Structure 1
Amino acid sequence: MASSSTGAEVISLPDGRKLAFDLSGPPESPVILLSNSLLSNFRVWDHFVKVLHSNGFRTLRYDYPGHGHSTTPSDLNSVTLFSLANDVSLLVMAVKLTEVHAYIGVSMGASVGLLFAAQNPGFVKKLIFCDGMRRSPLAAGKEDPFGPRIEIAKAQPDAIETLTESTLERWFGTAWMNANIDETERMREIMNTTTRDGYIACCNALRDKGNDLSRYLEKAGRNVNAAMLVVGEKDANMPETMAEMKKDIQAGLGSKGTVGWAVIKGAGHLPMIDNSKQFNTEVLNFLT
């Protein structure tokens, strides 16, 4: 385990890749594991991490392959949600964790977190699933948005800048961006650290026909003590699709409690960014 020039720590994985992470906050405190979206790095959580630390939690966050300061495998088709969940297993072993108080994932990170919980009974005490898909568009028999984005990434030298701008508009909308110039610029800077190979590799994971969480939802519910779903009000049809997922997680959770549910008003795909006030309140109430 080593520190990089950026302040992130790095572990070497069995396949030779480097995985960058940050473990910080009050020592000996309960750990919150954070997984972010495609086209970002662990700094996307900076504001929320400060809130968690001030409320007595320690945090572990990390970068996906080719995102931030993690490196990419030679085979870009080898990255799947399952391999990403395995990266988390290797990370928690490296930092010698035997449990986490909560796993909070957003977007792709929500899927990775749910798979990790389903594969590791009792390790995750509380699971928070934010703005994640039940299955890939290809698995659902729908139009695949990731294929064209991969082609852009392959063809254009400045693809990440192009993809960042279109993604910012899709996630937040121009009205929010114009009203929050500093935060928009912070997000732009974070997103532009993504490599083209990293973007392609993680898009491959998201578009994979095997990307279907349906058979893992109930299992994840069985393996945790509590679960919550959080969704941005304006995140396309996510409120409807995630409401259906909630039923399956509840079937696994059973008598341990009711799956939490929060719609973040006015927010899009990353509600901890564009309505952090409500997001922080809802999540902290669940964590404590």
Structure 2
Amino acid sequence: MSTTASLFTLPSSRVLSYALTRAISDSDAPVVLLSNSLCTPFPTWDAVVNKLTASGLSVLRYDPPGHGGSTVPADLSSTTFDDLAEDVHALLRHLGIDRLHAWIGVSLGAATGIVFAAKYPGTVRKLVACDTISCSPANAGIDDVFGPRVAAVRQAGKMDGIIDGTLDRWLGRAWMDAHPDETSRIRELMLSTTIDGFETCCAALRSDTFDLRLKTEAAGQGVEEALFIVGEKDANLPEAMKELRDGVEKGLKTKNASARVDFHVVPNAGHVCYIDGFDDFVATVTMFL
């Protein structure tokens, strides 16, 4: 499968890289959008794309600022999740896509999806949010973990150290030792993230405006169905994400009193559960879609 990126110039003059892969059997098939976590350009989804297109769905992927071929704003500290959502809205208009069958986002991409669903109600039919924190460290009342990481990358002048530490945290040594080829591929893709891109997306995660707890009810009102997925080994998120699930469910119930938001824990998976929990992730998502 080709993962060659197309480039779209946003109204802000920044460039957004994306790929639209049509369903194998139907060029007019419904479109599912896949939205990446921090430091992961869209080819990390390749295996998932193969499964979705084979099941009759078209797939749209894109890169946030400084990832893949996407460029960054002049002010690296200014980006918010509203900005990231507006980028996708502009891309959909450019492609003539009025409605997404689903938004599947992981981490940064899940937070962007919740903000997008609240900001542009009716554009996303099904929301799948995976492995996301609920708010910035400032809004959680905890120490900022992103600022020191940006400072460390700036001091080192390269992304290698942060990428290796991230892979250890996300996938774990045992999984990486058992899957050396896929680990190597993911690492090389992650290393294409620029330092400016890392700082830009960390700015959104650090922003005082980042608080999904204030968005979930509106997001639920903006979609028809929702599913939350989290890796079993992803720190405290298997428990913490239930608050986000409850907020989206509350919004859905304003339209349908019997609405229920599904919540699924991927066994033995970490933060990027579509990689180390691939089979379970794909089976769960395909059934939901």
TM-score bracket for this pair, using the shorter chain length? over 0.9
1:12 aligns with 2:9: yes
- Corresponding residue for residue 216 of structure 1: 215
Deviation per CA, 1:161-209: give whole Å up to 9, x if none.
1111000001011111111101100110110000010001111111112
The equivalences for 1:24-103 within 5 A come to 24-26=21-23, 27-103=27-103
1:233 CA displacement: 0.3
Deviation per CA, 1:22-45: give whole Å up to 9, x if none.
011221001001100011101111
Question: Identity over the aligned pairs, expressed in percent?
Answer: 44
Question: What is the CA–CA distance in structure 2 between the aligned matches of 1:256 and 1:225, rounded to whole Å?
Answer: 12
List structure 1 runs of 4+ shifted beyond 3 angstroms: none
Question: What is the CA–CA distance in structure 1 between the aligned matches of 2:144 and 2:77, rounded to whole Å?
Answer: 17
Question: What is the CA–CA distance in structure 1 between the aligned matches of 2:42 and 2:211, rounded to whole Å?
Answer: 25
Change (3 A) 1:127 1:256: farther
Residue aligned with 2:139, SS: coil
- Corresponding residue for residue 134 of structure 1: 134
- Corresponding residue for residue 286 of structure 1: 288
- Corresponding residue for residue 3 of structure 1: none
Q: Which residue identity lines up with residue 79 of structure 2 in the other structure? A: V
Question: What is the CA–CA distance in structure 2 between the aligned matches of 1:208 and 1:28, rounded to whole Å?
Answer: 38
Question: What is the CA–CA distance in structure 2 between the aligned matches of 1:187 and 1:81, rounded to whole Å?
Answer: 25
- Corresponding residue for residue 262 of structure 1: 264
Question: What is the CA–CA distance in structure 2 between the aligned matches of 1:46 and 1:240, rounded to whole Å?
Answer: 29
Q: Which residue identity lines up with residue 250 of structure 1 in the other structure? A: E
Residue aligned with 1:219, SS: helix
Residues 226 and 256 of structure 1 are in contact (CA less than 8 Å); yes or no, is this contact kept in structure 2?
Answer: no
1:226 CA displacement: 0.3
Residue aligned with 2:227, SS: strand
1:256 CA displacement: 5.7
1:172 aligns with 2:174: no
Q: Which residue identity lines up with residue 172 of structure 1 in the other structure? A: L
Residue aligned with 1:143, SS: coil
Question: What is the CA–CA distance in structure 2 between the aligned matches of 1:204 and 1:243, rounded to whole Å?
Answer: 25
Structure 1 unaligned spans of 5+: 1-5
Question: What is the CA–CA distance in structure 1 between the aligned matches of 2:243 and 2:201, rounded to whole Å?
Answer: 25
Q: Which residue identity lines up with residue 83 of structure 1 in the other structure? A: D
Residues 225 and 256 of structure 1 are in contact (CA less than 8 Å); yes or no, is this contact kept in structure 2?
Answer: no
Residues 264 and 271 of structure 1 are in contact (CA less than 8 Å); yes or no, is this contact kept in structure 2?
Answer: yes
- Corresponding residue for residue 236 of structure 1: 235
Residue aligned with 2:140, SS: coil
Selected match of 2:278 from 267, 276, 279: 276
TM-score by length of 2: 0.95
Question: What is the CA–CA distance in structure 1 between the aligned matches of 2:277 and 2:168, rounded to whole Å?
Answer: 16
1:16 CA displacement: 1.4
- Corresponding residue for residue 115 of structure 1: 115
Change (3 A) 1:208 1:195: same
Residues 212 and 244 of structure 2 are in contact (CA less than 8 Å); yes or no, is this contact kept in structure 1?
Answer: no
Q: Which residue identity lines up with residue 113 of structure 1 in the other structure? A: G
Q: Which residue identity lines up with residue 286 of structure 1 in the other structure? A: F
Question: What is the CA–CA distance in structure 2 between the aligned matches of 1:198 and 1:134, rounded to whole Å?
Answer: 21
